[in-house]
Structure 1
């Protein structure tokens, strides 16, 4: 007799576990890529930035594998109820992780350009922004592993904190550009970096929403609070 929560077909459980493992691996690669990109910016390490840009291909390849696995599961197993939510959420989560990897690679690309000009002081704000984004990614990956909707919800709420810090950096960089036009090129690259990291936070919160949906079968009731005031 099968235990509660187990599928009669053991291979189905194995396929779902494999899918979860692939997404965990993909998420960890994206997290490492983000952390390395921030380090490359601070240390003005062009070689490291080049390696990060090249490594993004591995994340793209994993997303393609996950897409193929999802198609196979849908075709062969025809999942329903929570199983269907698990499979569809895996597809959406892998897409969000792929975008996180792209944004991390974009930070590395900007690092290469930034290294060609004199360093400006606001670059010291980037590690904190990257740290918060990395913490949110770490939390949602753990929440996905454990199917922990409460943990996902806490990570989801931190996007407002990331947005608020991004707004502060945005205003600081604008001030530097107005004070001295020679800062414009470097600050423009930093603005793009900061925006990429802010978007990483948005994709991490998308993952949190999908985890909540897997567990409860509903969307998060409250509206996502935004701390990005750069348009006001």
Structure 2
């Protein structure tokens, strides 16, 4: 009976993590969409909604601490609870990146975009898609999927490098554009960091399922095995 209650509590936590992830996905896509449309009100709304992301993260953290304190989990259960704590922290930071993009849109004010946004929305969509699948892998403890997703970080890096080259060409041709170029470069930087944190989630998923912890190479599917946990 105690075990059944514990499993029910874990499922509730997982459901809350998925909800938090959905909030973050919405923020990532919404922040870039607001920038693309130069919708300042949408950015203001997104910044306000970031407080809800923070509240959700700390609410889940509280649930986890109660479970750790009252259930005294061992082995797999302890890895799951401790790693979930790390995962919600990663999600909260992704929300901060989205808020940062919204703040950039507000700082730009009525200034026009230096160039039409093409690759930046692609980065946002790719990052949000990777995040969605990473959280599904976490819920299912799917090691193979968790190992495969970080390889796609190379695509995000390629888009970032393309954006960087294009923006530097604008600056070379007209140094007065440097501020507007920097705004878009920071947006791309935030989105690149989203993909990096997705990789962290995948590493935690592998640790939960196998007890092995290490880095996942983004260039291939090799997992650097760490010490086997008890």
Same fold per superposition (TM over 0.5): yes
The 1:82/1:20 distance shift into structure 2, 3 A limit, reads: same
Aligned partner of 2:14 in structure 1 is 20
Q: Distance in 2 between matches of 1:222 and 1:121?
A: 35
Structure 1 residue 171: Cα displacement: 1.7
Structure 1 residue 177: Cα displacement: 1.1
The 1:153/1:70 distance shift into structure 2, 3 A limit, reads: same
TM-score for both structures, normalised by structure 1: 0.90
Structure 1 residue 221: Cα displacement: 6.4
Once the two structures are superposed, the pairs formed by residues 1-232 of structure 1 within 5 Å of their partners are 8-121=2-115, 123-220=117-214, 222-225=216-219
- CA offsets 1:102-139 (integer angstroms, 9 cap, x no match): 00110111112234312222533211111111111111
1:212 partner SS:
helix
Segments ≥4 residues shifted beyond 4 Å: none
Structure 1 contact 156–209 (Cα < 8 Å) conserved: no
Structure 2 contact 31–43 (Cα < 8 Å) conserved: yes
Structure 1 residue 8: Cα displacement: 5.0
Q: Distance in 2 between matches of 1:192 and 1:122?
A: 16
The 1:125/1:221 distance shift into structure 2, 3 A limit, reads: closer
User: How many residue pairs are counted as aligned between the two chains?
Assistant: 220
TM-score for both structures, normalised by structure 2: 0.90
